[in-house]
Amino acid sequence: MKFGVVVFPGSNCDQDCVHVLRDVVRQPVVTLWHQETSLRGVDAVVLPGGFSYGDYLRTGAIARLSPIMRAISAFANDGGLVIGICNGFQILLESGLLPGAMLRNTGLRFICRFVHVRVERTDTPFTNQLQQGQILRLPIAHNEGRYTTDEHIARTMTDQVVFRYCDADGQVVDAANPNGSIDAIAGLTTRAGNVMGIMPHPERASESALGSEDGRLIFASMLEAHAYA
Amino acid sequence: MNARVYITLKPGLLDAQGKTVKSALDALGFKGVKDVRMGKYVELKLNGAKAATVKADVERMCKKLLANPIIETYRIELVQT
């Protein structure tokens, strides 16, 4: 399964994603520069974390206008697998591929630490190797992670929430919500399920040396989904 | 013609930055501050001279890029130059 990791000016988790996909998940990976117009035949696209375009205007607002995003939209609308991690999630929101928007964390701090998230759905290409209600330990690193919607979106959303922030016992409580996201949303998919945004970084938690291997299960799920596509 | 665009978070949304600035003002002894909302200010220099056309253009710029309609509202002021 060939992965394409998109690189915008200001991306800084692109090489972490390349490393995990190539050396841990052991799949072919190419990097796709934001100015490219073709996805070069990849089977899945990764929009990595970082600060694309310096977070100017709003996080992800400028990146979504990059030439590569047009190809990614077409790919996603055609059923292609797209995962947006952290800034990648913000780009998916700004591009309209996922519903909603991100606001500054309620505590106004850039938060960089491990959190727990609860698996809310296992019938997606990103979670088929996980158990319903399973608790993953993944790191977050963001300043704008307070997911929100407006009334119109809230009305039209179905059960698209894939991950919720929770405590170590899997309880979704305010104290375990690091950034003030509505409904403690940490990960969200499209109705069709082939596009997912996730604020925590699975690529930073895919090797035991880094304190957690839970993130690897998300990439393993993508492999499984591709194998049976 | 110039345009001034004021972008703020929608009224219902918690403005964490504004709230923090309000407590800082409180700390400085400014007791009369009831609320602070932070936002963005964009100044545009434009070629057009016809107010209606320019306003419609800036309106489109706001909808397509300058503001995110899910979380923000905007107000446009035109200034003759």
| ipTM (interface predicted TM) | 0.87
User: What mean pLDDT do residues A71-82 have?
Assistant: 98
pLDDT of amino acid A158: 78
- pLDDT score, position A218: 98
Q: Which residues of A touch B13 (CB under 8 A)?
A: 103, 148
Query: Considering only CA atoms, which of A178, A110, A174, A177 is closest in space to residue A144?
Result: A110
pLDDT band at A46 (very low <50, low <70, confident <90, very high): very high
Quick check: A102 and A87 in contact, CB under 8 A? no
Please give the structure tokens belonging to residue A219: 């990439």
**Rounded Cα gap, residues A172 and A145, in angstroms:** 17
User: Is residue A224 within 8 Å of residue A122, measured between CB atoms?
Assistant: no
Q: What integer pLDDT is reported at residue B48 of this predicted model? A: 83
Name the residue range of residue A102's domain.
3-227
**How do residues A135-153 score in pLDDT, each as one tens digit?**
999 999 999 999 999 988 9
* Residue-averaged pLDDT of chain A: 96
Sheet holding B39-45, edge to edge: B39-45, B2-9, B72-79
Total structural domains within chain B: 1
Catalytic: A201? yes
CATH number for the domain spanning B41: value is: 3.30.1280.10
Contact A100 B14 (CB under 8 A): no
Structural domains of chain A, count = 1
Confidence of residue A154 (pLDDT cuts 50, 70, 90): confident
Tell me how far apart the alpha carbons of residues A144 and A58 are, in angstroms, rounded to a whole number: 9
Query: Domain span at residue B72?
Result: 2-79
**Interface contact B66, partner A, CB < 8 A:** yes
Which of A55, A57, A144, A174 is the best substitution to test chain B (most B C-beta atoms within 10 A)? A57
Nearest to A6 by CA among A64, A58, A55, A78: A64
Give the CATH number for residue A66. 3.40.50.880
Backbone Cα Rg of chain A: 16
pLDDT higher than threshold 80 for residue A229: no
